[in-house]
Amino acid sequence: MSALAHFTTGVISATVAIATMVVWQHFHPAPNMAKVDIISIVTAQQKSLTAQMKPGMDQKTQAAIIESAARFGKQLDAALTQVAAGCNCTIINAAAIIKDSPSNRIDDYTQRVNTMATAKK
């Protein structure tokens, strides 16, 4: 095979590969991302529940506090699901982000999730 044939084959192969990647990216875009500081939400709830616990409490009150913690876990999960559906995005824990790009910051939904999770239902 001549050098021109090798060159032509290489150019056609590269063009097909690039076109394939462009088409793939067009029909399979990267998901939108948002962050939530789960640790701060859970820590605040933990402090609130710890403050309610007193030595010598009756079992009924302790059971109510434990039920409140379980209810909060379910509400937090529901709030995360609702926010993810509302923004049509993937939510990641803020602790997983090492550095945000100054030009392309990830939206922070911590306050919204916290408000929804701690709302009395």
Domain limits, the chain: 1-29, 31-118
Give the gyration radius of the chain's Cα atoms.
Answer: 25
The pLDDT tens digits of the residues spanning 67-95 come to 988 999 999 999 999 999 999 999 999 99
Q: How confident is the model at residue 22 (pLDDT cuts 50, 70, 90)?
A: very high
Domain made up of 31-118: CATH architecture: 2-Layer Sandwich (3.30)
How high is the pLDDT of residue 99?
86
Q: What whole-number distance in Å separates Cα of residue 118 and Cα of residue 33? A: 23
| Identity of the amino acid at 32 | N
Q: How confident is the model at residue 120 (pLDDT cuts 50, 70, 90)?
A: low
The pLDDT tens digits of the residues spanning 38-71 come to 999 999 999 988 888 888 888 888 888 889 889 9
